[in-house]
């Protein structure tokens, strides 16, 4: 696995970030905020899923729900919200919202830690839908079906958060920090144990590592990431409603992660970008009415043809050119290809 | 076919404009965007909304004062976030001047908040009918020429108490904002007249109502059922199956195509059902008959009778066109003249009811009492009375209305004393 | 709460549980043999309901609708297994993702062909209306029929699993797939048959469920979730566990609605979380 990290050298990362920083100078506002900004914000939620899948072997469908915990927390606390809530300042509310998401991640981890693989998928899906039904039926705190609106976000350097450049750069900075954080985390002792647990939990447990604790901590870290995404998407959507955390939203995040590729964290952002482009322009390139068929087909083709998503396709293409120099380096095993749960239990 | 051509034309012109023309386009053409639900369970409502827009635009031949109207259609799935994403695309990418839409309540509130952040753009409601969209924290750029959920029930409470002589009504409704508003509109009159109400809420999406049915009080004289589509069909079928006999008073979205066209035992309960709302299938105003005739001719594959969504989208689009005509298609100066014209507009909707706006840019118009009758073509709603000029405060003074509080699960309340 | 109401709500829970059992038993059966979590199970329900409805619309015969719904779902299920799922046997997650993709596409295609309006079957007169019933006087006949259908499905499954050669192979396959293959049984063929059988049960559920309550877009998700929760609570791959899980979920929904309607939707999920905390493999599930 570390080999793969080395294959994404620092220089390339820096170059991509530099391009993303310069890009707004070349693009109209719509592209800055509603294609790139939106992709990055949702990509962060997808990153939390990809992180768990890549390094922990967990495919959790609860990540949208956890982002929703942060989104609802900030919406309830935000100063401008309709209906009005606690009216905290954003300086307090944002960290608190992310903290709540981290806690929610830990709780999901605690529930899910005793089961893995395919059970995890089922359980997290059921939890996610249970949560969306709960916020839909609770009027007192979550304002039910209509949700909480007008969560505009803080002013940054005196400019409203919705200003395309502000939203874009804040999202980009958050995403870069989280991405680098993930890349760092997986090389720490904690990250290495997590990967050892993914590959062979019995052996890792035999070496004396606490399986449950590591896994719960991984869910906590993923909760933190999803929470950051949840706050950003809540500001982007100027509020949050049960639809933001429902089955459709949950599956959308899964689609982003899978299309991008579950083999490397960057896949989350690639997948989010592809999804956003299709979602935005489907009406122009294809009959909008059948958007779901289009996105479903793409999803299916990716799962069938390239379990590592477009990232995998890219690698294969790159591999064709470099076939000679590449020798027997073991290809990273994505959770979609193998099923750790089966081999162990 | 022609719609697709227009779409293609719109894409090409938009692309060209984005490259060359910049903001100057407003002088040559008027860009209208629409958001209707064409995906998921509410797709049939959105399709009818499109028919309404088409009818209105064809009346002016896609042209105002020599300026061409270019229509870009977007579709949502009745989710607030999706409606917002579509609105952003229409405004920021396609650079439309005016949006007509959306269809459902949560979407409407999301777009109202978005419209507040815009300058020189106008959003005119499609068919969304949540009260709060215009009642609380209204946006200066959001206009609604259709009436909303609470207005739709105005006057019905008096009728049920006085004419039908029912003193205790059991409310069967889903537990969210739209039914709250409808129940509110009904109960304001009904409780004041002396009626008693038992409320039986169930969560959105409930399809097994057997436990609700067992909780209907024995001495209830009628059921007020505020449901639409699947939920209404499920409830009525199961109520019929248990041999239920109480007269049914329906919410405004109850008598829709799902219920009217589906065969089955619920039809026995539906016949004679009283309701209230902005439209009735059978209505003797010549304007209505002419409009329905035109609808049927233009859309042979459409619904047998235009739905509430077709009607609302038409009325709102019509208002846009009338205001545009008044200012000669002039959208300059951040649309100030146009928005002024919208605010002062007074016209008749296809039901022959006068529509004008209050200070929150919310329609004041007539509400019709309807009864379901059996015709050769199946069940139809027929108007038998109307409440004139119903405003959003249901005829109360601002102070009186404020005192009532906002509609909720428990408000208003007039339970039977046992 | 009166005694009559108590009995009514109990009966409502039991009859709803019966419907859930019919649908979830197919899900559990497929999982039991193949470890395939079929996320398109709700889609199979909807395929059964819609195609059954087409036949019902044409013939006005409810029994034909049952046959058509079961056949359509079975054929679709078999095709899924042969063309997509069979060759990725063992890659559970990939199979789950494939079925998610399929369910998105099929739901959209059903919307294109049948529209967004809700539909409902009306069972023959013999099953409609109410029947005399102790204590509560009358009870809807069709709900009683649901119990009968569920019992019939349960008995039939038991007979197939315990009294036929196919059942022998299935049970052997559950315990040790490789060994079964080594003994010369064409496991892939057994898998197709089991998949078709499980799908047919979803299709049967589609027509019976579509007669008890309307169906439309979104019904697939509802029944998928119900199936998931039922087998998580009852225990994966066990028919007895599925029955217990189905009754628990049916009861939870109906009692929730009777006692605290606002939050009745989440009672089921609270039960699920509680079961997972105490017994992660489900009530009747074998520890993994």
Q: Name chain A contacts of B113, Cβ cutoff 8 Å.
A: 82, 149-150, 238-239
A230's tokens: 């949840």
Q: How confident is the model at residue A177 (pLDDT cuts 50, 70, 90)?
A: very high
End-to-end, the C-alpha distance of chain A in Å comes to 23
Q: How far apart are CA B393 and CA B151, in angstroms?
A: 8
Strand, coil or helix: what is A326?
Answer: coil
Cβ-based burial of C213 (10 A; exposed 0-12, middle 13-18, buried ≥19): buried
Total-model pTM: 0.88
B136 in A contact zone (CB under 8 Å): yes
Return the domain boundaries, chain B.
2-147+285-344, 151-277+367-404
Answer whether residue B83 shows pLDDT above 60. yes
Interface probe with C: pick from B179, B234, B241, B409, most Cβ of C within 10 Å: B241
Q: What percent of chain A has pLDDT over 90?
A: 53
Q: Residue A85 has what pLDDT?
A: 80
pLDDT value at residue B297 = 96
Average pLDDT over residues A191-214: 87
Please state which of the ranges A156-170, A327-341, B192-206, C50-64 shows the lowest mean pLDDT: A327-341
In this structure, how many other beta carbons lie within 10 angstroms of the beta carbon of residue B63?
A: 13
Count the alpha carbons within 13 Å of C83 in the hemisphere toward its beta carbon.
10
The CATH number corresponding to B2-147+285-344 among 3.30.390.50, 3.60.15.10, 1.10.150.20, 3.40.50.2300 equals 3.40.50.2300
- 108-147 in chain C: CB under 8 A from chain B: 111, 115-120, 122, 128-130, 138, 140, 142-143
Q: How far apart are CA B394 and CA B397, in angstroms?
A: 9
Return d(Cα C254, Cα A225) in angstroms, integer.
38
Q: Please report how the helices A247-260 and A309-321 are oriented relative to each other, as an axis angle in degrees rounded to 10.
A: 10
Residue in chain B closest to C137 (alpha carbons) equals B242
CA distance A293 to chain C (A): 5
- How sure is the predictor about C188, in pLDDT bands with cuts at 50, 70 and 90? confident
Give the list of residues 6+ apart from residue A211 with CB closer than 8 angstroms, or none: A197, A201, A204, A205
- The alpha carbon of residue B365 is apart from the nearest alpha carbon of chain A, in Å, by 25
Of the partner residues A34, A146, A279, the one whose CB lies closest to the CB of residue B105: A146
Residues 359-418 in B contacting A (C-alpha not used; CB under 8 Å): 408-409
Mean pLDDT over A301-315 rounds to: 85
At a CB cut-off of 8 Å and minimum separation 6, what does A286 contact?
A294
Q: Is the pLDDT of residue B8 over 60?
A: no
CA distance C90 to B86: 41
Q: How far apart are CA B330 and CA A250, in angstroms?
A: 44
pLDDT of residue B3: 47
Q: Which CATH class is domain B151-277+367-404?
A: alpha beta
Mean pLDDT value of segment B355-367: 96
**Contacting residues of B for A248, CB less than 8 Å apart:** 77, 79
Q: For residue range C93-135, list pLDDT tens digits in order.
A: 889 999 999 999 999 899 888 877 788 888 888 887 788 888 8
User: Do the domains at B2-147+285-344 and B151-277+367-404 have one common CATH topology?
Assistant: yes
Q: DSSP label at C285?
A: P
Q: Is B82 on the interface with A (CB under 8 A)?
A: yes
* Confidence band of B18 (pLDDT split at 50, 70, 90): very low
What token pair was written down for B14? Answer: 């938009």
Lowest mean pLDDT among A250-264, B221-235, C52-66, C266-280: C266-280
- Using only the alpha carbons of chain C, give its radius of gyration: 19
Contact yes or no for A248 and B409 at CB 8 A: no
Q: How far is CA B135 from CA A241, B138, C249, in A?
A: 19, 6, 41
pLDDT at C283 over 60: yes
CA distances from B26 to B32, B68, B99, B331 (A): 11, 10, 15, 7
Please state whether the peptide bond connecting residue B349 to the residue before it is cis, i.e. omega within 30 degrees of 0: no
- Mean pLDDT in residue range A33-46: 96
**Predicted pLDDT at B2:** 47
First to last CA, chain B: 63
pLDDT at residue B16 in the model = 41
Q: pLDDT at position B194, please?
A: 94
Contact yes or no for A262/A303 (Cβ under 8 A): no
Q: Which of B122, B125, B124, B186 is nearest to B152 (CA)?
A: B186
DSSP helix/strand/coil, B198: strand
| Chain C residues touching residue A336 (CB < 8 angstroms) | 91, 93-94, 97
Pairing of strands A148-149, A239-240: antiparallel
- Tell me which residue of B313, B77, B32 sits closest to A289, measured CA to CA: B77
CB neighbourhood size of A344 (10 A): 13
Q: In angstroms, rounded to a whole number, what is the distance separating the alpha carbons of residues B153 and B156? A: 6
Please answer whether residues A60 and A120 qualify as being in contact, where contact means their C-beta atoms are separated by less than 8 angstroms. yes
Q: What is the pLDDT of residue B24?
A: 44
Residue A6: pLDDT above 60? no
pLDDT tens, position by position, A59-73? 999 999 999 999 999
Taking CB atoms and an 8 Å cut-off, how many pairs form between chains B and C? 115
Q: Are B76 and B107 in contact (CB under 8 A)?
A: yes
Using CA coordinates, name the residue in chain B closest to A134.
Answer: B203
Query: Which pair of tokens denotes residue B46?
Result: 């959105």
Provide the percentage of residues in chain C whose pLDDT is more than 90.
53
Residue of C nearest to A53 (CA): C93
- Pull the structure tokens for residue C40: 């398109």
DSSP secondary structure code for residue B278 in this structure: S
Which residues in chain B touch residue A147, judged by CB atoms under 8 angstroms apart? 80, 106
Strand pairing of C137-140 and B222-226?
A: unpaired
Tell me how close the Cα of B144 comes to any Cα of chain A, in angstroms. 18
Q: Do C101 and A289 touch (CB under 8 A)?
A: no
Of A122, A258, A339, the CB nearest to C91: A339
What are C133's two structure tokens? 């019933």
Q: What pLDDT does residue C56 have? A: 93
pLDDT at A329 over 50: no
% pLDDT > 70, chain A: 88
Q: Which residue did the predictor score with more confidence, A242 or C287?
A: A242
**Helices A90-112 & A211-236 angle (0-180, nearest 10):** 140
- Phi, psi for C209 (deg, rounded to 5): -65, -40
Q: Please tell me what DSSP assigns to residue A246.
A: S
Q: Which of A33, A31, A50 is nearest to A264 (CA)?
A: A50
Average pLDDT in the A268-272 region?
Answer: 96
Identify the three-state secondary structure at position B139: coil
**Strands, E assignment, chain A:** 148-149, 239-240
Q: How long, in residues, is chain C?
A: 288
User: What does the domain layout of chain C look like in residue ranges?
Assistant: 10-217
| Alpha-carbon distance B396 to nearest alpha carbon in chain A (angstroms) | 23
DSSP designation for A333: P
Task: Tell me the mean pLDDT in the region A38-58.
Answer: 95
**Which residue in the set B234, B241, B262 is minimally distant from C128, CB to CB?**
B241
User: Which residues sit opposite B302 in a β-bridge?
Assistant: none
Question: Mean pLDDT, to the nearest integer, of A110-134?
Answer: 84
pLDDT in the model for residue A323? 59
Q: Once rounded to an integer, what is the mean pLDDT over residues C153-182?
A: 86
Q: In this model, does residue A97 exceed pLDDT 70?
A: yes
pLDDT for B84 equals: 94
Nearest-by-Cβ selection for A133 from C108, C266, C276: C266
- Is the predicted pLDDT of residue A3 greater than 60, yes or no? no
Q: Which two tokens stand for residue B385?
A: 């009375």
CA A263 to mean position of chain CA atoms: 14
C-chain residues within 8 Å CB-CB of A300?
Answer: 98, 101-102, 105
Count chain A–chain B contacts defined by CB atoms under 8 A. 111
Q: According to the model, what pLDDT value does residue C182 have?
A: 83
Task: Please name every residue paired with C137 in a beta bridge, in sequence order, or none if there are none.
Answer: C133
Sequence-ordered strand ranges (E) for chain C: 130-133, 137-140
Residue B381, SS3?
strand
Percent helix, strand and coil across chain A, each rounded to 5? Answer: 70, 0, 25
Half-sphere exposure of C220 (CA within 13 A, CB side): 31
Task: Examine the pLDDT at A337 and tell me if it is beyond 70.
Answer: no
Computed over every residue of chain A, the mean pLDDT equals 86
B241/C222 CB distance under 8 A: no
Q: Which of residues B404 and A173 earns the better pLDDT score?
A: A173
Give B23's pLDDT tier (boundaries 50, 70, 90).
very low
- pLDDT value for C194: 92
Mean of the per-residue pLDDT values of chain B: 89
Confidence of residue B418 (pLDDT cuts 50, 70, 90): low
Residue contact C94–A337, C-beta within 8 A: yes
For A137, the closest of C96, C104, C263 (CB atoms) is C263
Structure-block tokens of residue A328: 């027997």
Q: pLDDT digits over B134-172, tens only? A: 998 899 999 999 999 999 999 999 999 999 999 999 999
């Amino acid at each position: 696995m570390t080999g793969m990290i080395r294959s994404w050298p620092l220089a390339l990362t820096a170059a991509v970030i530099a391009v993303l920083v310069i890009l707004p100078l070349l693009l109209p506002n719509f592209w800055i905020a509603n294609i790139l900004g939106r992709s990055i914000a949702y990509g962060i939620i997808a990153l939390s899923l990809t992180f768990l899948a890549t390094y922990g072997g967990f495919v959790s469908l609860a990540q949208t729900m956890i982002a929703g915990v942060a989104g609802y927390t900030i919406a309830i606390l935000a100063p401008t919200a309709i209906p009005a809530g606690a009216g905290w300042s954003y300086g307090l509310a944002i960290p608190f919202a992310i903290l709540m998401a981290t806690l929610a991640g830990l709780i999901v981890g605690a529930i899910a830690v005793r089961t893995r693989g395919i059970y995890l998928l089922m359980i997290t899906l059921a939890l996610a839908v249970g949560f969306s039904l709960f916020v839909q039926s609770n009027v007192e705190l979550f304002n039910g079906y209509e949700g909480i609106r007008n969560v505009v976000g803080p002013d940054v350097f005196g400019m409203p958060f919705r200003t395309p450049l502000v939203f874009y750069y804040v999202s980009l900075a958050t995403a870069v920090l989280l991405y680098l954080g993930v890349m760092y985390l997986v090389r720490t002792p904690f990250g290495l144990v997590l990967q050892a647990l993914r590959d062979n939990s019995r052996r890792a447990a035999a070496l004396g590592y606490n399986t449950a604790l590591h896994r719960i901590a991984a869910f906590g870290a993923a909760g933190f990431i999803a929470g950051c995404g949840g706050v950003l998407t809540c500001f982007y959507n100027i509020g949050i409603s049960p639809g933001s955390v429902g089955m459709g939203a949950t599956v959308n995040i899964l689609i982003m992660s899978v299309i991008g590729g579950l083999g490397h964290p960057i896949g989350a952002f690639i997948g989010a970008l592809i999804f956003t482009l299709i979602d935005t322009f489907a009406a122009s390139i294809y009959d909008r009415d059948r958007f779901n068929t289009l996105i479903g087909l793409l999803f299916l083709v990716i799962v069938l043809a390239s379990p590592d998503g477009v990232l995998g396709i890219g690698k294969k293409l790159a591999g064709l050119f470099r076939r000679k120099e590449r020798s027997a380096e073991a290809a990273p095993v994505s959770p979609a290809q193998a099923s750790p749960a089966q081999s162990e239990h | 076919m022609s719609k697709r051509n227009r779409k293609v034309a719109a894409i090409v012109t938009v692309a060209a404009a984005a490259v060359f023309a910049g903001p100057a386009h407003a002088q040559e053409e008027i860009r209208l965007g629409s958001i209707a639900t064409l995906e998921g369970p509410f797709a049939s409502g959105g399709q009818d909304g499109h028919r309404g827009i088409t009818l209105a635009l064809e009346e002016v031949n896609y042209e105002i004062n020599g300026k061409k109207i270019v229509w870009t259609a977007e579709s949502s799935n009745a989710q607030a976030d999706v409606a917002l994403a579509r609105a952003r695309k229409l405004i920021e990418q396609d650079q439309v001047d005016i949006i007509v839409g959306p269809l459902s309540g949560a979407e409407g509130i999301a777009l109202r908040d978005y419209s507040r952040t815009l300058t020189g753009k106008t959003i005119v409601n499609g068919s969304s009918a949540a009260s709060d969209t215009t009642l609380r924290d209204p946006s200066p750029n959001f206009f609604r020429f259709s009436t909303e959920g609470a207005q739709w029930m105005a006057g019905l409470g008096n009728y049920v108490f006085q004419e039908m002589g029912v003193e205790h009504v059991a409310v069967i409704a889903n537990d969210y904002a739209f039914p709250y508003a409808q129940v509110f509109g009904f109960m304001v009159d009904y409780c004041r007249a002396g009626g008693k109400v038992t409320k039986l809420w169930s969560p959105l999406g409930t399809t097994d109502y057997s436990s609700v049915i067992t909780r209907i009080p024995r001495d209830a004289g009628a059921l007020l059922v505020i449901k639409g589509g699947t939920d209404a069909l499920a409830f009525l079928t199961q109520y019929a199956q248990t041999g239920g006999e109480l007269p049914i008073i329906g919410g405004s979205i109850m008598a829709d195509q799902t219920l009217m066209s589906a065969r089955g035992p619920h039809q026995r309960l539906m016949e004679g059902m009283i309701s209230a709302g902005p439209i009735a299938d059978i209505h003797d105003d010549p304007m209505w008959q002419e409009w329905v005739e035109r609808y049927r001719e233009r859309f042979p594959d459409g619904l047998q009778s235009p739905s509430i969504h077709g009607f609302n989208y038409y009325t709102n689009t019509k208002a846009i066109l009338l205001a545009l005509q008044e200012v000669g298609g002039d959208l300059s100066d951040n649309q100030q003249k146009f928005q002024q014209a919208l605010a002062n507009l007074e016209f008749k909707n296809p039901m022959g009811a006068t529509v004008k706006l209050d200070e929150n840019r919310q329609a004041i118009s007539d509400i019709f009492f309807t009864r379901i009758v059996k015709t050769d073509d199946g069940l139809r709603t027929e108007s038998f009375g109307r409440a004139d000029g119903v405003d959003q405060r249901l005829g109360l003074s601002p102070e009186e209305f404020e005192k009532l509080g906002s509609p909720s699960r428990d408000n208003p309340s007039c339970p039977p004393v046992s | 709460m009166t005694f009559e109401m108590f009995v009514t709500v109990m009966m409502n829970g039991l009859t709803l549980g019966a419907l859930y059992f019919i649908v979830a038993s197919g899900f559990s059966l497929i999982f039991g043999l193949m470890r395939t979590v079929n996320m398109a199970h709700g889609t199979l329900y909807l395929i059964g309901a819609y195609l059954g409805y087409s036949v019902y619309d044409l013939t006005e015969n409810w029994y034909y609708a049952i046959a058509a719904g079961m056949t359509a779902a079975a054929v679709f299920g078999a095709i899924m297994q042969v063309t997509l799922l069979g060759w990725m046997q063992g890659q559970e997650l990939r199979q789950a993702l494939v079925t998610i993709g399929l369910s998105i596409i099929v739901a959209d295609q059903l919307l294109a062909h049948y529209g967004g309006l809700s539909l409902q079957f009306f069972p023959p007169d013999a099953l409609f209306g109410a029947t005399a019933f102790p204590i509560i006087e009358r009870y809807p006949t069709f709900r009683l029929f649901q119990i009968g259908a569920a019992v019939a499905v349960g008995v039939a499954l038991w007979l197939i699993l315990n009294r036929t050669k196919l059942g022998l192979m299935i049970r052997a396959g559950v315990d040790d797939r490789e060994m079964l293959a080594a003994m010369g049984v064409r496991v892939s063929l057994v898998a197709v048959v089991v998949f078709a059988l499980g799908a047919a049960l979803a299709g049967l559920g589609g027509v019976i469920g579509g007669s008890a309550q309307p169906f439309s877009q979104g019904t697939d998700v509802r029944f998928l979730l119900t199936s998931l929760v039922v087998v998580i609570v009852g225990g994966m791959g066990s028919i007895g566990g599925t029955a217990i899980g189905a009754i628990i979920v049916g009861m939870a929904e109906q009692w929730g609605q009777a006692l605290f309607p606002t939050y009745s939707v989440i009672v089921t999920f609270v039960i699920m979380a509680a079961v997972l905390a105490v017994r992660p493999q489900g009530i009747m599930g074998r520890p993994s």
